[in-house]
Structure 1
Amino acid sequence: MGKNLQTEGRLRPVDLARGHGLSTQAVRNYEEAGILPAADRTPAGYRTYTSLHAAALRAFLALVPGHGHRTAASIMRSVNEGALDGAFRLVDESHAQLLDDRRTLQAVEGALRDLGKDAGPEPLAVSGPGGTFIGPLAGALGIRPATLRKWERAGLVCPRRDSRTGYRVYDGADVRDARLVHQLRRGGYPLERIAPLIAQVRSVGGLDPLEAALGDWHGRLSARGRAMLAGAAELESYLRERG
């Protein structure tokens, strides 16, 4: 039966799965999720696909590395529903996020240069003797106090406690560390990867570990940009196939 189907230009789920390292169930799941167009059925109820479905699968798999699974799926659903403006908006949003991430990287590099020059942190409102409390610091960073407490539990910031009130007091070094953690989190770094960087910045190891992380970050952003180009090429091919 498979040979006859292929002779007629029709494909089975296994024909689409083969070459992509996918299971036939994954192909069926993609169809049910709207990532692939709906398949025709044989009189016996078996799914049959065409070159259009093959092009859709290639487009989706090419979009995932640059846009992520969820956004890639939303792009394909929009295309298959005929909502091209919605699909293009999603693509534009991913590119805007990549640009924002590049700007964030530049901000982190600026913070690193400040550390290299032993510059102090940006001025923050001082709420207590010799430092700032958790509320003003969280407000200055645009995060919640609970986030700072989470970073403290992870060892990323180490404020002292006011002897009279027991409140956390963040000195200049704590503020510097919080700023670095905040920027690295925006760049997508998990806490477990940030912890050794902050620890080594504090130690005699210097700033080399952070510089290496920034180099890796540059590489990941470049890889995402290139993946977006590859995804765009396959998406355009699919759009031409759809006509």
Structure 2
Amino acid sequence: MSGSQRVLLRTVDVARESGYSVQQVRDLERLGVIPPAARSSNGYRSYTSVHVHALRAYRGLAGAVGPVAARQMLAELRTETIAAAASAISSVHVRLARERDEALRAQQALRAIQDETNTPELEQASDAMTITELAAALDVRPSTLRFWEQEGLVIPERVTSLRARRYGISAIRAARIVAALRGTGYGIPAVREIMGSLHQLDGLGETQRILQQRLDQIATRTVALLRAGADLAAVVTSGQEPIAG
């Protein structure tokens, strides 16, 4: 147990160091974001620096993955091995990187759709994807692609006597844009309207704005996670040692 962990803090001290209010500290303790505070003989709470690190880590993690997922993750990090905890944190970085890559691909698809207005492109059979391949590329379920087809958002071709779905270049581009829009939080009716306007100048401009907004949001979440790095490391390593009372 380190010397810093032996220094006992009052609720007001933790609030000041973490940037939360006294009531928020108590609420977040109740929600399991931080370990339960030790109680003195007179009933007062006693905290340590670990609690401050956990609260700071929660702020960044909540910005990256949302408050519910952040609460669950922090609770798990305190009981995991260092290797398992590091892997969990790395997976968040990987998820954000993948979301960014998909948003960039959607932007590329949008530019290609814009170019098609003047230079139509012939699709090659070798560029086509099956529903399983496209679902894996977008990290969605095949049932999601079937639902998008039912909603008129992404229309594949039907080939062979079994009527198997085949997604050509245009359908793949549309799917990437739909996936990015859905990831931004747009509902199906709004996505349908946007996709219907893609071959209009104003529609292309609005979609580009939305995709750039998506990239900006991912960048903000990534920075929040990076800022939480040192505090997350402190939480992970503190899980190997008992919290002082």
Fold shared per TM-score above 0.5:
yes
Give yes or no for the alignment of 1:77 onto 2:78.
no
Contact 1:79 1:87 in 2 (8 A): yes
Q: Retained in 2: the 8 A contact 1:156–1:198? A: yes
Task: Decide whether the 8 Å contact of 1:98 with 1:225 is kept in 2.
Answer: yes
RMSD of aligned Cα (Å): 4.2
The alpha-carbon distance between structure 1 residues 138 and 144, as it changes in their structure 2 partners (threshold 3 A), is: farther
**One-letter amino acid matched to 2:30:** N
Q: What residue is the counterpart of 1:20 in the other structure? A: 20
Indicate the structure (1 or 2) with the bigger Cα radius of gyration: 1
Match of 1:175 among 155, 171, 175: 171
> Which residue type is aligned with residue 23 of structure 1?
Q
Q: Per-residue deviation at 1:88? A: 0.8
The separation in 2 between residues aligned to 1:43 and 1:72, in whole angstroms, is 32
Aligned counterparts of 2:42 and 2:65: Cα–Cα separation in 1 = 38
* Structure 2 Cα separation of the partners of residues 109 and 186 of structure 1: 14
Q: Which runs of 5+ in 2 are unaligned?
A: 1-6, 157-162
Amino acid at match of 1:90: A
- CA displacement, residues 44-73 of structure 1 (integer Å, 9 cap, x when unaligned): 545432333223212222222123334433
Q: Percent of aligned positions with the same letter in both sequences?
A: 25
TM-superposed deviation, 1:191? 2.4
Partner of 1:128: none
Q: What runs of 5+ residues in structure 1 fail to find an aligned partner?
A: 1-7, 126-135, 160-166
SS of corresponding position for 1:117: helix
Alignment deviations for residues 76-128 of structure 1 (CA, whole Å, 9 cap, x no partner): 33442252222111111011112211221222122112202214585579xxx
1:191 aligns with 2:187: yes
Does the Cα contact within 8 Å between 1:157 and 1:178 map onto a contact in 2? yes
Q: What residue is the counterpart of 1:56 in the other structure?
A: 54
- 1:164 match: none
- Once the two structures are TM-superposed, the CA of residue 218 in structure 1 deviates from its matched residue by 2.1
SS at match of 2:202: coil
Cα distance, 1:20 vs. partner?
Answer: 1.6
Compute the displacement of 1:147 (Å). 3.6
Check conservation: 1:59, 1:234, Cα contact below 8 A.
yes
In the alignment, residue 20 of structure 2 is paired with which amino acid?
H
Distance 1:17 1:181, change over 3 A: same
Q: Secondary structure at the match of 1:201?
A: coil
Q: Name the CA distance, whole Å, in 2 between partners of 1:43 and 1:50.
A: 17
TM-score (norm 2): 0.65
What is the alpha-carbon distance in structure 2 between the residues aligned to residue 46 and residue 121 of structure 1?
73
Structure 1 length as normaliser, TM-score? 0.66
Question: Does the 8 A contact of 1:63 with 1:231 survive in 2?
Answer: yes
Partner of 2:3: none
Structure 1 residue 10 corresponds to structure 2 residue 9: yes
Distance 1:216 1:145 in 2: 27
The counterpart of 1:101, out of the listed 99, 113, 119, is 99
- Is 2:197 the partner of 1:200? yes
